[in-house]
C-alpha cells in the first residue's frame, strides 16, 4: 500500500519534479538524486519507509540498501512518523562530554517522553542524533518543522523550555506568549 502511495506521489503527482531532478545528473550518476527524491517524498508527509525507499531505489536503479544508507546517516531524513517539531539533540561523544546526555534527559522529562517518542499532542518528538557540527557549543540541538531547520547552541533547560512554549503557542493559537 505505501509503495503505491509513494509511486503515485513520486511518479504520477510529482512526475515533472522527478524528471527535473533526474535531468540534473548524467545517466551514469543518477544515484546522486537520492537526496532530492527523499526530500520530495517527505514534502508530501511521507517518511522514508521501506516502501518509499524501494520506490526511490526503483527510480534510480540502485539497491534499497543504498537508499537506506542515506536515510540512516543524515538527520534530515526519518523512517518513522514524528511530531510537528522534531527536537534533535546531538549526543555524540564530544557533546556528551559537555552534558548533552543529561540535557537530553531533562528535555524528555519536561515533555514527558523518552528519546525517540512523540508527545501525546503530536507537537514534539525528541531524538538523539550524531554530530550536528557544533561540538564546542554543546548542549545543542536542531529543530525540524514546517518552517525548516533551526539550530540552537549553548542551550540550557530554560532556553529549551522557552522555545517549546513559543512553538506550542504559535502552533495552537498564533498568539504571543505571556510575559512571565
Q: Do 28 and 91 belong to one domain?
A: no
Paired with 152 in beta bridges are 141
The answer to the question of residue 16 being in a domain is yes
Long-range contacts at 102-107 (CB < 8 A, ≥ 24 apart): 103/138, 103/139, 103/155, 103/157, 104/128, 104/139, 106/157, 107/141, 107/157, 107/160
Look at residues 73, 105, 126 and tell me which one is the last residue of a structural domain: 73
Angle at 129 (CA atoms; ends 127, 133), nearest 5 degrees = 135
Query: Can you give the pTM of this predicted structure?
Result: 0.70
- Specify if 178 maps to a domain: no
The answer to whether residue 50 is domain-embedded is yes
Q: What is the CATH number of the domain that holds 116?
A: 3.40.30.10
Asked whether residue 104 is domain-assigned, the answer is yes
Domains of the chain: total: 2
- Residue 8's pLDDT is what? 60
The CATH number of whichever domain residue 60 belongs to comes to: 1.10.10
Q: CA 102 to CA 105: how far, in whole Å?
A: 5
Residue 148 pLDDT exceeds 90: no
pLDDT in tens, 69-85: 999 888 788 888 888 89
Average pLDDT over residues 57-74: 92
* Dist. CA 106–CA 122, nearest whole Å: 19
Instruction: Tell me the residue range of the domain where 121 lies.
Output: 85-172
Nearest to 116 by CA among 126, 106, 131, 101: 126
3-state class (DSSP) for residue 142: strand
The last residue of a domain, from among 38, 73, 108: 73
Domain boundary among 73, 106, 128: 73
Q: Are residues 92 and 141 in the same domain?
A: yes
Preceding omega of 139 cis (within 30 degrees of 0): yes
* Shared domain check, 64 and 27: yes
Question: Could you tell me if residue 132 is inside a domain?
Answer: yes
Rounded CA-CA distance 42/18 in Å is 14
Give the β-pairing of 85-90 and 124-129. parallel
Amino acid at each position: 500500500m505505501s509503495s503505491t502511495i509513494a509511486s503515485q506521489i513520486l511518479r504520477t503527482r510529482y512526475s515533472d519534479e522527478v524528471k527535473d531532478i533526474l535531468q540534473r545528473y548524467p545517466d551514469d550518476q543518477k544515484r546522486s538524486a537520492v537526496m532530492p527524491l527523499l526530500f520530495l517524498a517527505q514534502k508530501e508527509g511521507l517518511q522514508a519507509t521501506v516502501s518509499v525507499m524501494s520506490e526511490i531505489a526503483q527510480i534510480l536503479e540502485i539497491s534499497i540498501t543504498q537508499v537506506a544508507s542515506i536515510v540512516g546517516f543524515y538527520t534530515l531524513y526519518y523512517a518513522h512518523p514524528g511530531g510537528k517539531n522534531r527536537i534533535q539533540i546531538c549526543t555524540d561523544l564530544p557533546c556528551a562530554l559537555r552534558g548533552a546526555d543529561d540535557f537530553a534527559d531533562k528535555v524528555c522529562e519536561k515533555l514527558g517522553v523518552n528519546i525517540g517518542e512523540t508527545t501525546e499532542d503530536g507537537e514534539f518528538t525528541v531524538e538523539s542524533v550524531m554530530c550536528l557540527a557544533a561540538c564546542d557549543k554543546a548542549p545543542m540541538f536542531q529543530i525540524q518543522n514546517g518552517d525548516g531547520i533551526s539550530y540552537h547552541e549553548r542551550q540550557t533547560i530554560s532556553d529549551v523550555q522557552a522555545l517549546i512554549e513559543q512553538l506550542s503557542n504559535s502552533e495552537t493559537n498564533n498568539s504571543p506568549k505571556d510575559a512571565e
